[in-house]
Structure 1
Amino acid sequence: MNMLITLDPMGRVMGEPIGDVGDADALEATGLGFMCGLEVHQQLATGKLHSRQAGDLHDVTIESVPEHWPRVLRKLRPAQGESGQVDVAARFEAKRGRRFIYIQSPNSGLIELDDQPPEGHDEDAVELALTISGLMRAHPVPLLQTMRKTVVDGSNTSGFQRTTLVATNGVISTPDGDVGVDVICLEEDSARKLDTTATKDGEIVTWNLDRLGIPLIEIATAPEVQSPEHAKVTAQVMGTILRDTRRVRRGLGSIRQDLNVSIACGDRVEIKGCQDLDWIPRIIRLEMARQLHFYRLANTLRKQLSLPALPPDRRDTSAEVEAAVDNAVATAIPLDIHDVSAVFSACESKMVATSLADGAAMLALRLPHLGGNLGVKSEDSGGAQLPRLGRELASAARLAGVAG
């Protein structure tokens, strides 16, 4: 598809973005200011990273877990970090009030339960990480120093993931050009979720500790992927390099790709857990269409309120202007919540009736200026659902633990 592309001397996109969100496959990456990078997470076929436990996985479900495996009930609580502030994500998770049951598999001990300090790095895992770094022409760091990433979903008993920087500034060669490798890290894999149960006091999530601590090598590329199709090729090349070592795990769940995608008029979005390489181009194109749709919808709504439009390139966004827009929107769409439980008291929906009987409330919020803009269920030319604001709002509500 040919289209006129206008860039300023700094490489910024000029003029309104062109493309039909109903035909994601026809969107032109360069003309939309496409940027993409990959994060590949590959399990290593070694022992656990910071304990001397075996890196075995036990094929069990919540129904088949042996009764003699110990279980521990925990609840994570937010605490101030080194900066003296409580992490925003930790504060949000605390409001959800979730509790976690950890099932101790035969290959998990006190370290996995966060009842004992971790051991040093597994030597085999470090050697393999350095080998992979060499294959990707990366430069090893002079000192391995373990860092901590906050993890608040309960998948790690300690509330953080141990990560170690191994090498930087590598490069991989693909048929469509080189792609830089920013960092190569060693990190711990998370526990495996077995079940989620809703209770009056919040959700109870059950985790299996067999996978917790298995070494992962994380490889993050520079945002030099040229197109959705090039992203698939890049992932294939990286997978080949990893398998050539003959010391990485194989099978479903042993490797995953996270996709960092943006277009000029949108924001960077990380799409986690893509395991099927054939789906990568399609997933990226659907995200491009989603960002393009919401850019246009945002400017439609801003026009209704006589507010400044978003620029075609978000790097030109003014913080001062956006702060004024935030205040204007808060005034135009006030957070005026109403309890409408009585209206739904005779509702035939089993979910609604059960929730109200358990003491839940049905809340409603007026959304002036959004009439007709929440979207309807319709499909694009490839059979995927078109982006719609209503689904985005529902996803945000579910993250907060709201049912519906």
Structure 2
Amino acid sequence: MDFNNGKSKNIVKIIIGIFFALLILFGIFTLFIKPRLNKKEPVDINLADYVIVKTSGTNGSGKISPSLNKTAFVIDYEGQIYEEDSKKPIKARNFIESLDKNITYAISKENNLKNGDKVSIVINYPENIYDKFRINIRNTSLNYEVEGLSEDKPAENNSDTKENDSEDKENKESETKQKESNDKESKDKAKDYKTFIEDSFESSDTVELISVRYEGKIKRSDGEYFAYRINTRENLESEKKAFSYFLAVSETGNNKEIIASNFIHRVADGKDKKIYDISYDGFSMMDDLLAYLDDGSLELEDIEYSANFSPEDEVSGYYYPGEFTLFMGDDQNIRLENSNVLYTGSWQRKNGKIYLDIPSYKDTEIEATFDSEGLIFEGDVFN
């Protein structure tokens, strides 16, 4: 009898059995366990925690106006909000900007308020819009006690009025002089920083500087930042294209610093639509610069961004399809951003529909309809 041959057959059977067992375990892991591990749990958003209530007027005839503290929201939820079927987080700023455009406030009493009045505020939002996100929006109501309304000034006799008028005039003149001094200092800095940017810019065969434009001032807890639009010309193989982006300048002591990140402008050239990836040190949109600097204490002077953009055309504005930020300008230009890649193109109306031409993103036009809910795209073109 050949015992060794029998033992070899048994070992082979054992190996085959182990292989199939491992195969079954791998299948179970892939089909049932792995999806659970990868699935992000919904994040709870207590919306009332981000409502700011501002008061105006005098005691007895005051008003209140609620709004969202979008800066605080971005700080708390950046990297935590996921699409239902995606493993990648969306930008918290994109989410809160979209939400802010779609909510309304039900206020128990808005006018003729006095200090001490108690007001209830309920935040209403279209729930179906946010079904695709891994979120639970909770706590959408709050109670607010009115405070900070000024008292009406009592009538004064003539001698007191003249004295107070003189004092008020002196104060106003002093404030005006201080403001003029501050304005002159800011203008001088803005001009100095503009020159600093121009001197620091490194032109190449592909990109050359056209102009630098001051956009406004950003104040935060550690100082002031001056924001600029950088206008360039891209020299592609068969055509030249204008392109602009944003950055800021700060100064500590006598040391100036350019505040910039890095992004790619993906652009199509000419009729053959050859794609170029051009790298820039800056920010493709003003919102990105603000998000980069956002420490929860930002104050903006003369800065135009998504929250205060006033479109002339009803289609113009900011949209947030999928993980993208889409800006459609009054001049019918398009900026489409995802992560650190920016695509540019144009849009137009044809036969009652909106058509987006972004050749570096998609080689055919993207079709959309526009109604009271905004832009509705044909198919999952941004997923």
TM over 0.5: no
Length-normalised TM-score, structure 2: 0.25
Length-normalised TM-score, structure 1: 0.24
Which structure shows the higher strand fraction? Answer: 2
- Larger relative CO (CA 8 A, sep 6+): 1 or 2? 1
